[in-house]
Homo-oligomer: A and B are copies of this chain.
Amino acid sequence: MAASEADHALTAKKQKLEEGDKIDSALSPLKSFKGFSFEKVLCENAKSKSLFIMGQFEGSDDKAVVLLEKMPFSSERATNYVCQDTNLKETLKNDIYGTYDAYIPVQENAVKATVIYPATEKHITKYTDQERFVVTETADLYKSITLPYLEEKEFSVQWVYNILDKKQESERIVFEDPDPETGFILLPDMKWDRKNINTLYLQAIVHKHGIKSLRDLNGTHLPLLRNILKNGSVAIKEKFDVPRSKLNIFIHYQPSYNHLHVHFMHIKNETYGFAHLLSDVIENIELKEDYYQWKTLTYVIREMDELYKRFKDAGHL
């Protein structure tokens, strides 16, 4: 939880304490969801196998948020799953393959439930799902929708310049090539703990200013891109002993900030969505210098992204 939320929550609780009522139900452990009235599903995630629910407990006007998550299996308990107490209901059979609904013993199949009560508006927003949509951005749509949006917003990348100018995070730099045209700084991504090699994750940030994204890359950038691919990999091999055959090296489109950067990620660290491998980017530009000015690029955007509204208002979603 974020500090601000915990803060909000404490304020809410303090008010309750002053009111002197409904405290017990907020603090005593629940034995079941008896008295809970379901209001709505805030978010459903099939991949993480979670479901976030909003509702209320009997006798209170406060909202409660319930986070349900399926839990991983435990190797040590494997024999308790594949046993005679597990009932099977066949759902499909083809040759040697059979699929079943398996009802494993209830004590082996707990779900993790987190109850937030009383829940603030911020909790509710935080745990509410946003719709996602696939955008098919043709070259023309880039020019008529995406580029004007970026220009209008003028998103600041001052924090990136601070890194490049060693005003920030200079102690975190893993490797630098200072060339203003083909150089870059390599440093760990904030998501990496810098200990676990299996989750290794670094970013190469180019020294050259003004390359907003993949869309801007053309034949003139080939020396820069080849340099990052080669010397970024060499640096990671030297510093962390992870060879290139263990790395996914890619560019996101849309990027999370509009200054060219390349992700170096251990292959055990699954990538999300459709990333563009740096080696593919180089080869495509070798084939056609303006490949990324010409190509239709497909990506996923969220309902609350302003770019979503722009595409929708223009009738493209």
Contacts and interface: CB of A to CB of B under 8 A. Distances in A.
Contacts of A104: 111
A106 interface: yes
A102 B96 contact: no
A132 B267 contact: yes
- Label chain A's interface by main secondary structure: mixed
Contacts of A210: none
Nearest to A50: B73
Interface stretch (A36-44, A143-151, A173-181, A254-262): A36-44
Interface string A18-55: 00000000110111111110100100111111110101
B268 A82 contact: no
Contacts of A75: 41, 44, 51
A99 interface: yes
Contacts of A48: 47
B68 A81 contact: yes
A99 B78 CA distance: 24
Contact of A114 (B72, B97, B199, B245): B97
A184 to B, nearest CB: 20
Contact of A111 (B107, B109, B113): B109
A285 interface: no
A155 interface: no
Instruction: Assign chain A's interface to a size class.
Output: 35 or more
Interface string A52-77: 01010000000000101011111100
A296 B267 contact: no
Nearest to A138: B283
Interface in A90-142: 90-104, 106-107, 109-119, 132-136
A279 to B, nearest CB: 6
Interface of A: 1, 6, 9-10, 12-13, 26-27, 29-36, 38, 41, 44-51, 53, 55, 66, 68, 70-75, 78-79, 81-104, 106-107, 109-119, 132-136, 159, 168-169, 190, 193, 196, 198-199, 244-248, 266-275, 277, 279-280, 283, 287-288, 294-296, 298, 300, 317
10 tightest A-B CB contacts, nearest first: A34-B84, A51-B73, A29-B90, A102-B113, A101-B110, A46-B72, A70-B70, A33-B82, A9-B96, A46-B199
